[in-house]
């Protein structure tokens, strides 16, 4: 069985492969995961203590608009923001994410967006 030693190798593993690893490889897997967690926690603490890093919370107020109005808003938004993620559209336009998803799917079916 191949030795697993890095976090990147673990990420590439299929979940059912974990169960078939021998004890020595499970130990390597756990060690790599623990190292990655430690590294991430250290980076998080550095970010928290950094004076140059500012965490900004944004509250989005959803608008109460009809489906057809929302569809028009989304279509217009996508004309100038190609490749935008659905959550970005939702946040920027103040529309429900589920509705945005449905609208984008509809616009794709209609051939109006890619």
Domain assignment present for residue 18? The answer is yes
pLDDT in tens, 20-68: 777 777 777 788 888 888 888 988 888 777 766 566 677 777 888 999 9
Non-local CB neighbours of 78 within 8 Å, separated by 6+ positions: 84, 89, 104, 107, 113
pTM (2 d.p.)? 0.50
Domain assignment present for 59? no
The alpha carbon of 14 is separated from its chain's Cα centroid by a whole number of angstroms, namely 20
Question: Which residues span the domain enclosing 22?
Answer: 7-49
Count of structural domains, the chain: 2
Token output for 101: 């998803």
Q: Name the pLDDT band for 1 (thresholds 50, 70, 90).
A: very low
Whether residue 114 is contained in a domain is answered as: no
15 in any annotated domain: yes
- Domain-embedded: residue 81: yes
Q: Verify that 71 and 43 share a domain, yes or no.
A: no
């Amino acid at each position: 069985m191949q030795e697993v030693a890095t976090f990147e190798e673990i990420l590439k593993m299929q979940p059912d492969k974990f169960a078939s690893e021998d004890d020595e490889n499970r130990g390597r897997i756990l060690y790599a995961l623990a190292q990655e967690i430690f590294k991430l926690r250290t980076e998080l603490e550095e970010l928290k203590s950094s004076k140059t890093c500012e965490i900004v919370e944004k509250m989005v107020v959803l608008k109460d608009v009809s489906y057809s109005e929302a569809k028009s808003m989304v279509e217009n938004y996508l004309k100038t923001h190609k490749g935008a993620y659905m959550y970005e559209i939702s946040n920027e336009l103040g529309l429900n994410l589920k509705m945005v998803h449905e609208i984008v799917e509809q616009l794709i079916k209609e051939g109006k967006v890619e």
